[in-house]
Every structure is written in structure tokens, then in C-alpha cells.
Structure 1
Amino acid sequence: MWKRRALGWLLICITGLTLLLVRLIQIQLMETETFSKHNINLLEESVKQRTQELVIDNGRGNFLDRNGVMLTHKKVSVLVLFPFLKKIDWDAKKVSEITGVPENILKMAVEGAKKPFAYGDPQPVELTTAQMEQINQLNIPGVFAIEKKFERSQIPAEQLIGLTGENPEEVKKRYPDKELSEKTLLGVSGLEESFDEFLLPEGKSKLVYHVDGSGGPLFGINVKYVDPANPFYPVNVRTTLDKNIQQKAEELVDKHQIKKGGLVLINIEDNSILAMVSRPAVNKKDPYGTAGITNKMLKQQIMGSVFKTVVAAAAIDHNLDTPMRQFDCSKKINGKPEVKYNYGMLDFSNSFARSCNRTFGELAKELQKKDPFSLEDYAEKLSLTSLVGWQGDVYHTSDFKQLPDEDNGRVFVSDEARKDANMAAMSGIGQNEVRATPLAVANMMATIARGGKKKMVRAVSKIEYKNGTTMVDFPVKELKGETISPYTSMRLQKLLREVVTNPNGTGRWFKDLPYEVAGKSGTAETGKYVNGKQLHNKWFAGYFPYKTPKYALVAVNLDVADYEGGVNLLFADMVQMLYENDHE
């Protein structure tokens, strides 16, 4: 009897030990970096228990402007102090003499520290190269001068570049085959999201020292530098932005009190974004819960009279623009007397310069009779209704989009509206169902300036490895589909210039600028009201210099009252700023 019991207990003990051994093997050998459903890295956690560290670089890829300047972060030469200094006699006086920080302040900072820190963080004292060399030559344990990566307090083009955040569930969903920490930063909007796979960290760069239970140094006072030791990572995403121009553009948008709207500036030669500003800005206290995260420049908006550029192109090709033809601009589209904008009889060119609604309502109806799809065809030829952001095959990713949040534009929503003459007339002046993104409008202006050549708009030119070699190149690419002819482009160029040179043109405010401007204004009724007053979208879209086009610019102010919120001064200040920037 007792033998059976003994044998039973022996089997239970063996089974228990076997299970413990299996569990130990699982923990120690098999799931050391992805333990449990939370993918906990046991190696990292065990190291954390016996070490203290200062992260120098989180390992995520960086965004650069077109000149190689860091956009979201900056590298600062800082003084790093370790808390074990409070337990040893160190020469704070010499460090003070080199840095200019009072000796007692340095000692107080160390006394209050529980982990390594960059002195002055979050606004660290920046050291010169000479100061760094002098501090490191002191060879004081726990005192270092290093270059550390800090996030900028103000990130330029924040909606375009996007935000990052921690989301354990999204890490698993997005990268099921990769062994990533739950705390891995992921891109949640903008370029951070679209380029996320390239930006994932290979590991952190950090200073580490081992501690005992009381926080004292365990193996003397040696501090180790830990680095992923990969010469290729983290990568750098080289955007097409110009940081200097971007910052000045943001200052001007805020100076002119654009609460909702912004601007898009395109370099016509390579069709890339030099600056993009969207308001409202991102709320730092609640970045993900506000409208500020949305990039208004990539969202379709009611565009008003800017759309007359499309109608003009179609009218030119269908010979509806004969010089002798006169339009009665003393009347509205519906035939009622025009009280506010009574221009009398105008020809085609003057109608465009003065933005006569009657002219373009009639032309839109005539075009609709010829072909119900005419307005949509020409909107597509001028890249207003298609996606214009760069897309193509990249590595194993087919149809990669740099700007995945970009909206399509539109002219009509239904076939019924497309065949209705009155709907066509309202569409001819950019009302009714007509929508386009500010980015697409800027690209339309660039297309016209280039003589009808349609190109994709780039926000990123290439991805570079850490050592500077190219990982992925995003070449200038043409947009597929039909485009307008060089002759039609030439005619549109002249019409857009007359908007500025005509004494009564809607862009006459720009005639004395240092760069010759060509463009089109737009004021669209939104159908929204505040205190019984109709709200409008106000636009000016154009390019310059007229004879040697370099820039395409769109400025837009959304949902503002008729008597306020103009964009002419913003557009003019941008032209002036770019001229001065080019001639410094």
C-alpha cells in the first residue's frame, strides 16, 4: 500500500519537475524576447532590474528636409551626469569651469537624480565642440559630453510628417511576423505612418551602468556605451521640404490668422512639396483627439471660381472663346440682375480676369450639351479629380502611396446632376458638388506652368541608410492619363496672368510684387452659417515667376465670413518671402 503511495508521489514530483523544466526552457531559451501574449522581452526586463541607462537615440528613423536638416528631432551636445556621482568624490569644480554652470547647481542636480540625465533636460545646456573635448578629457567616471537626440518642441509641417505613438495591439496587427517590443513607437498619421515599416528601430543607442539594490555601482564605476552596431540603421527619410521656407510659411499663416486652412507650395521643376501648412495646428495636450491631426491640404474642399480654369480649358478646345463674343455680366447665372458684381458686357478674357459667373455658367451649359462628361474630363486632364501624390512599387510593397490620406476630387456625384443644365452651370463656377484638394489645385497650376505636363507630387525624394547610401529612390514620375495641349496651356497661362495685370482683375493686388504672378482667385459658398451669415472658402492659386515658372502656390482660408479672411495678403507675403530667400 505504502509502495503505491510512494510511487504515486514520485510520479507527481517527476511530472511537476518536468513541467517546471519545460517552463524554464520556454522562458530562458525559447521566448526570451517575446514572452507571453504581451511579447515581453525578458532579456531587456532583466537587464533593467540591474542597470540604469540613458537613451541617446531611440533608434527610429529620422525625417530630413531636402538639404539634410533634421525636421522632427535635433542632435544636441549635452553634459550627462550619473547618479552614482553622489557616492564618490568627483571634480565638479572643473566641470563647472568648462560649462559655466555653478558648481553647487551641478552637485544639487546630481543629489536629486535617481537615473542618468542630460543636464538641463528638457531644455539642455548645449555644449560646443571644444567644451565636449575638455569634459571628456577629464575622464571623470559618470561625467560625459555626448551628442543626444531630442524631439523638437515645434515640429515643422507636423500634419504632413505625422505623429507617432505606442499601441501594443497595433504592433501585433501591423507586424505579426516581427519580434517587436510592445513599446515600439508606430506612425499613426502622415509620413510617419506611410513610411513606418522603414522607420522601425533596430535597437536603441544608450549609456548603461550596473547597479546594486541601493542604486550604487555594482561593477565599479564603468559606464558602457550600447549601440545596435548596424551601419545601415536607423534610416533617414529625405523629404522634399525646405525647413527654412516651411518655418517662414507657418509664421505667415499664423500672422494672417488662418484658423482653418493653410497653404501648399510646390517646386515646379521636380514637382515636389517645398512647404505645406495646415490649420488648426496639432494640439500638443491632446494630439490624437482633435481636428488638428487632419491635414486640410489633402482633403477635398469647395473651390469656387478657381474651377473656372477647368471650364476655360474646355472652352478653348471647343472654340467657345471667340474674341468677338460678348457675355452679359450684368446678370447672374439664373438671369436675374447682378447688383454686387455688375460688370456689363465682357469678352472671354475679361470675364476670366474679373471672374464673371454668368460667362462660365453659360460656357459650362454649352459644354454639357456637347458632352455631359466634358467638365469631368478636363478636371481629370488638369489632375484635379485624381490622386496626385507619388505612388508606385517599392520593394515588396505594390502601389505604395506617400500620401495615403489624400482625397480624390470630384465634379458631379450622380449621373442625374451630370445631365442637368442648371447643375452644370453651378458646377462651372466651382459650386454645387465640385471639390478638390489644395494639393491638387497647386498641381494644376504647376501642370499649366509646365505646358501641360502632368507629374506626381513628391513629399519624399529618397530613403537613405545611416551611412548615406540610398536605400529607396522616389524618382519624378508622370501622372497617367490625358492632359491639355501645349496650345491650351499657353492660352491658360495668358489668362492667369491677366487676372493680375488687368486693372479690374481679381488678382490685381499682386501686380507690383518682385516676382510676376499668374493665378486665379476663388470664393466659394459653403452652405454653412454662423449667426445667420453664410461662410465661404477663400482661395488664391497661382504660379511664379510668370516667364520662368519656379513655384506653384495655393493659399486657402476655410469657413470664413464674406467680409473677412482673405488670402491675398498671405499669398503676397509668401511671394515676397520667396523672392528675398532666392536673392539672399
Structure 2
Amino acid sequence: MKPYKRMKKLAFILLCFMLILVARLAQIQLIQTESFSRHHINLIEASVRQRTQEMVIDDGRGKFVDQNGEPLTHHSSLSLVMFPFLKELKWPSDKVASFVGMSEYTLKDKLNKASEPVVIEKEITEAEMKSINSLKIPGLFAVPLQKDDGGHFAEHLIGLTGQNRDLLVERYDERLKEGELSTQTSVGITGLQSAFDEFLIQEEESKLLYHVDRQGNPLFGLNVKYTGAPNPFYPVKVKTTLNKEKQSAVEKIVDSSGLKQGGAVLVNIENNTVEALVSRPEINEVKPYGDGGVYNRMLIPYTPGSVFKTVIATAALEQLPNVENRTFNCSTNIYGKKAQKDQGTLSFHDSFAESCNATFGQLGKDITAKDEHMIETYAKKLGLTTKAGWSGEVFHLQNFAQLPEEKKGMVWTDNTTKSPNAISQTSIGQLNVKASPLELANMMATIGRGGKAYEVRAVDKIQYKNGNTLFSFPKQELEGGGIKRETAEKLQMLLTGVVEEEKGTGRRFASLPYEVAGKSGTAQISDKKALVNKWFAGYFPRENPKYALVVVDLSVKDEEAKTNGVFYDIVNNVYELDQQSKRK
């Protein structure tokens, strides 16, 4: 009986094992074919990929171009593609080699080393493409390829894409269920890639493919299949307001300067559009959130220091009669004690040019005495407490924002007591005051154009693949923004004095080919480490303003700041590019 019982136990164990095996096979082949394990692997797609060799011609995701239609994140090229099975065939390799400008030996060597489709990295002409394809060689094609440029150009503004199942489900659950999208579909994670993801999301890749056996040999003959819908409308193009040449120049200037944290933003005053935007540090694509490099610092508020005196000057001009004829004791600081730098007695105009803290500490108290909310009111008029970026209705999207990562600035926290000292500190851009570089650039654009305030656009329109417009973003006034023309003209004189006056804090910029008006700022953020935020915000040319520019070097020692050098070089470079454009 004992052997019989052991046999029964063994049979039972074997039966359990078989049932588990069958259940596992059913799970793999029938139940969880499209979402296997906690990693949600699509087993059908994985199986097809395992026995398929392919060459992606276009990933199907929408693309970004600059204001002139120049591609920003990709480029198209006519290239030769060779599939590995070609090495087993006889074909006119000498003739093909002559088309691509390389020796027959080199061409065949590249093929012999290939285990998957290989692209010959030499662009060919359209005529050469037609000639190569007319040979009708199995496994050899001349095709237009869309190639990713690596994602480093205007990376903070354009943003990152990646595979993220949670985001896919959150945004496109129904399309996933219906099979329109797969778990391998890339989505926009940051920047414009995220904001415009619904328009950019890939419909279908365009690719050449063929099926192989375990040894890599053709499974169904030598026919290479083309997949991809020949759709004249998709993928779309997002036409940004960036100027590719200026963006490239600003990136080079910022990087060569050694500016490690901060950046620059250049705004076209007439259209109120971003022509260049650079944020540093660069994005670490392996661990984008690890060192904070993924954050666009041009959209984040920081302590602005004396640049904020522009707000106090605006309020004083409109609310304090005869302020332009007053004089101020600049031998003292904002607390009435002896100042580190004795500037003597200064007029209102000279106080702004030389950035006298005592003057603006007093003016802040004077305007607050009239209305305790006066500083906040004028900060809003100049766009420093409202998001500067374009927002509005786009089709079914009620609150679409071009720059959803943007944070708005502030003047006071909710629990701040408006004591005389707190008002003085606030009036010189310290204490709780925060403003983003984009907001400050928009403030300078508002003053430069004569007081009208608009939202800043980073995208002009969304275009179909054939070039027709899907949606155009209109110029929109900034809610609650704008100042009187008369006030703007007086501010222009004050900002000019910063550069023109002998003791002006922006005197360095007087030698530039474009005349500059602007305001410097040095915000103390750490007394212990002697760290500051070093700013210069301005516009140019002075007489007929075309550009507003803000440069900031964050958390740096004052004497090591790169701000002025970067601002100087950008203006110089923009001037040279404008002159080149006129000569064309």
C-alpha cells in the first residue's frame, strides 16, 4: 500500500504542477496578452518585435519648428537603408556605392557587420534616391528619414518625452482600451511636449519591416513591407515663436560664460513672443529630476532685488504728486542708518539710475500710506503676480496653457505684517518678493511698447502636415495688466538713465550697437554664504524697442556673477544677426 500511496501523492503533485503550468500558459497566451505582469508588458507586441526587423522612418509624433519653419528637434534626410539579408544576395554594390560616395568595400563591410537594418550616414539627393530605388534591389531602399537631433536644443522650453504608462492611462485611457495607442507609445512629460501632447501624440509609425526566423533569415520571402498611413494631415507641426539662430546663439553665450544656474529669456516686443529661452543647469536625461535640471528656471519666481524698484517707481509716478522733483538722502540705508555706500543726496531720476535703496524704501512707505495694497496693485499692472504665458480656450480644452509649468510671482505672503521695515525691504525687491525671469521680461516689454500688457506666446500655431493651420494662437491682453502711456514714457527715461548716467548701474551697456534701457538687480539670498541673485532686465533698441531681455545668475557670489557679460554678448549677437537678416 505504501508504494500505491506514494504514487497517488506523486500523481497529485504532477497534476497540480500541470494545472499551474496550464494556468500560466493561459495567463500568457489568453488572459494577459496585452498587459502581462506588474510591468504591463504587451506580449503580442513583444512577440512580433522578436521576429521582426524594422527601420523606423518616422516615429509618427508631431514635430516642433521655429518661427520660420526650421525644424528644432529633428531633421529630414534622404538616406540609404540596407537590410541584413542583402548580404546573401547578388546585387550591384559598385553602382550603389558610387551613389553614396564611398568605396564598394566600405559599403559591403558595413552590411556584413550588420545584424539589423543599417543606415548609411551620408545624405543623398532626390535624383540619387530615385535612381537607387529604380534598381529594385530586395532589402535596399533610399528613403526620407526623420531623425531626432538628441533633444538638447531649447530643451527646457520644448521639454522631454518618454514611456510612462500612468500618464498614458491618465490622458488616453479610452484610446488605449480601443487599441489606438500601445503601452510603448511615448508621451510628453515636460515643457511644450507635455502641453501640446494631445496634438503631438503619435498615430502610427512609418517604417520598413520584414519577418525573420531564429537565425535572422527572411521568414516570408524577400519582400520588405512599408507600414504607415499616408495621411496628409498628421503628424502635426507645432510652430513655435523661437528664432533658431537667436536660440542657438543665446545657448552658446550662456554655456561659454560658465553660468551654472539661471539663464536668459529674449522676448519680441511687437508680437510679445519668446524668441529665445535658455535655462541652466542642463537636463540630465538619465535622472532628469535628480539635480533639478529639469525645471525651467525662466518660469520660476526668484527674489528680484532692485529690478523690482521699477514697480515702486511706476506707483510713485502715478500716485505721488511732484515725486520727480523730490530729493533723497542716500547716505543712509532703508533703516535710516549709515549706508555702506554713501551716495549723497540724489534726485528721483538719479536714485533710480544709481539704485539707491533709501529712496525706494521711503517711496514704498509713502505709497503704502495712501493704500496698503498699492504695491501689489502695481506689481499686477506690470504682470509680476499673474502668469505671463498664453492661456485660453483651444477646441474642447477650456484652460489650455502654453506654459503649464509656469509659476506666478508674489509680493507678500499671507502672514506677513506690513511693518515699516517690511515695506522698505519689499520696495527694494527683498523679503517675500518673487518674480520669474519671464514675468520681468514681460514687464520690460510692456514698458518698451508704451504701457500695453500682453500674454507671452511661445507657440504661434499648430499646423497640419500639409502646412495648413489647425489652430492659431491670437495675441491676448494680460488680464489686469498695463499702465498709462505717459507713465511708460517716464519709466523709459528712468531705464535709459541706468545705462546713460555716469554712475548708472548699467553703464557697461552704453557701448553696445543697440542702445539699451534697463534695470539691474542684486538680491541677497544668503548672508552667511554671501550669495545673491544677479539680474539685468531691459529692452533694446531704445528708440524703437524690438526686444526685451532678462538675464539672471542665481545663487552666486556677487563678484563671480556672469549676468552682465551674458547680457552684453546677447545684445551684440542679436544686433549682428539682425544686420545679417537685413542683408539677405
Note whether the superposition's TM-score is higher than 0.5. Answer: yes
Output aligned runs, 1:217-256, within 5 Å: 217-256=218-257
The one-letter code of the counterpart of 1:289 is G
> Quick check: 1:354 aligned with 2:354?
yes
Output aligned runs, 1:149-548, within 5 Å: 149-153=146-150, 155-179=152-176, 180-339=181-340, 341-414=341-414, 416-417=416-417, 419-527=418-526, 529=528, 533-548=529-544
Compute the displacement of 1:126 (Å).
2.5
The one-letter code of the counterpart of 2:72 is L
User: Greater CA deviation, 74-83 or 152-161?
Assistant: 152-161
The one-letter code of the counterpart of 1:126 is E
Q: Match for 1:575 among 549, 571, 575?
A: 571
Compute the displacement of 1:285 (Å).
4.0
Compute the displacement of 1:80 (Å).
0.6
User: Greater CA deviation, 371-380 or 67-76?
Assistant: 67-76
Aligned length: 553
The one-letter code of the counterpart of 2:355 is S
Compute the displacement of 1:49 (Å).
5.0
Output aligned runs, 1:25-174, within 5 Å: 44-45=45-46, 47-119=48-120, 124-153=121-150, 155-174=152-171
- Judged with a 3 Å threshold, the aligned counterparts in structure 2 of structure 1 residues 482 and 215 are, in CA distance, closer, same or farther, namely closer
Per-residue CA shift, 1:276-304, capped at 9, x if unaligned?
A: 00000112443343311110000011100
The one-letter code of the counterpart of 2:77 is V
CA contact (8 A) 1:320 1:363 kept: no
Compute the displacement of 1:403 (Å).
0.6
Q: Which residue of 1 is the match for residue 10 of structure 2?
A: none
- Judged with a 3 Å threshold, the aligned counterparts in structure 2 of structure 1 residues 41 and 465 are, in CA distance, closer, same or farther, namely farther
- Judged with a 3 Å threshold, the aligned counterparts in structure 2 of structure 1 residues 321 and 437 are, in CA distance, closer, same or farther, namely farther
Counterpart Cα distance in 1 of 2:469 and 2:495? 40
- Judged with a 3 Å threshold, the aligned counterparts in structure 2 of structure 1 residues 40 and 202 are, in CA distance, closer, same or farther, namely farther
The one-letter code of the counterpart of 2:280 is R
SS across alignment from 1:290: coil
| 5+ long unaligned stretches in structure 1 | 1-15
CA contact (8 A) 1:156 1:243 kept: no
SS across alignment from 2:522: strand
- Judged with a 3 Å threshold, the aligned counterparts in structure 2 of structure 1 residues 130 and 288 are, in CA distance, closer, same or farther, namely farther
Counterpart Cα distance in 1 of 2:516 and 2:51? 65
Output aligned runs, 1:10-21, within 5 Å: none
CA contact (8 A) 1:162 1:190 kept: yes
- Judged with a 3 Å threshold, the aligned counterparts in structure 2 of structure 1 residues 562 and 206 are, in CA distance, closer, same or farther, namely same
The one-letter code of the counterpart of 1:541 is A
The one-letter code of the counterpart of 2:195 is S
Compute the displacement of 1:42 (Å).
6.9
- Judged with a 3 Å threshold, the aligned counterparts in structure 2 of structure 1 residues 323 and 52 are, in CA distance, closer, same or farther, namely closer
Compute the displacement of 1:194 (Å).
1.0
CA contact (8 A) 1:252 1:570 kept: yes
Per-residue CA shift, 1:239-289, capped at 9, x if unaligned?
A: 111111101000001121110010000001110100000000112443343
Compute the displacement of 1:163 (Å).
0.4
Compute the displacement of 1:545 (Å).
0.9
Q: Which residue of 1 is the match for residue 11 of structure 2?
A: none
Counterpart Cα distance in 1 of 2:415 and 2:451? 28
Counterpart Cα distance in 2 of 1:255 and 1:554? 18
Output aligned runs, 1:552-563, within 5 Å: 552-563=548-559
Counterpart Cα distance in 2 of 1:66 and 1:421? 48
User: Greater CA deviation, 41-50 or 68-77?
Assistant: 41-50
Counterpart Cα distance in 2 of 1:485 and 1:322? 17
SS across alignment from 1:178: helix
> TM-score by structure 1 length?
0.90
CA contact (8 A) 1:365 1:422 kept: no
Sequence identity, in percent?
50
Counterpart Cα distance in 1 of 2:561 and 2:51? 60
Q: Which residue of 2 is the match for residue 10 of structure 1?
A: none
Compute the displacement of 1:104 (Å).
2.4
Compute the displacement of 1:528 (Å).
5.9
Compute the displacement of 1:148 (Å).
1.0
Counterpart Cα distance in 1 of 2:439 and 2:102? 53
Counterpart Cα distance in 2 of 1:200 and 1:210? 27
CA contact (8 A) 1:368 1:421 kept: no
Counterpart Cα distance in 1 of 2:175 and 2:226? 26
- Judged with a 3 Å threshold, the aligned counterparts in structure 2 of structure 1 residues 34 and 177 are, in CA distance, closer, same or farther, namely farther
Counterpart Cα distance in 1 of 2:183 and 2:467? 30
- Judged with a 3 Å threshold, the aligned counterparts in structure 2 of structure 1 residues 321 and 245 are, in CA distance, closer, same or farther, namely farther
CA contact (8 A) 1:27 1:35 kept: no
Compute the displacement of 1:39 (Å).
7.1
The one-letter code of the counterpart of 2:344 is G
The one-letter code of the counterpart of 1:151 is D
| 5+ long unaligned stretches in structure 2 | 1-18
Per-residue CA shift, 1:303-343, capped at 9, x if unaligned?
A: 0000000000000011255343210111111122123x211
Counterpart Cα distance in 1 of 2:166 and 2:339? 60
Counterpart Cα distance in 2 of 1:55 and 1:35? 26
Counterpart Cα distance in 2 of 1:546 and 1:291? 36
SS across alignment from 2:162: strand
CA contact (8 A) 1:515 1:579 kept: yes
> TM-score by structure 2 length?
0.90
Per-residue CA shift, 1:53-107, capped at 9, x if unaligned?
A: 1111111111111111111111122221101012112222222222222322322
Compute the displacement of 1:48 (Å).
3.5
CA contact (8 A) 1:519 1:541 kept: yes
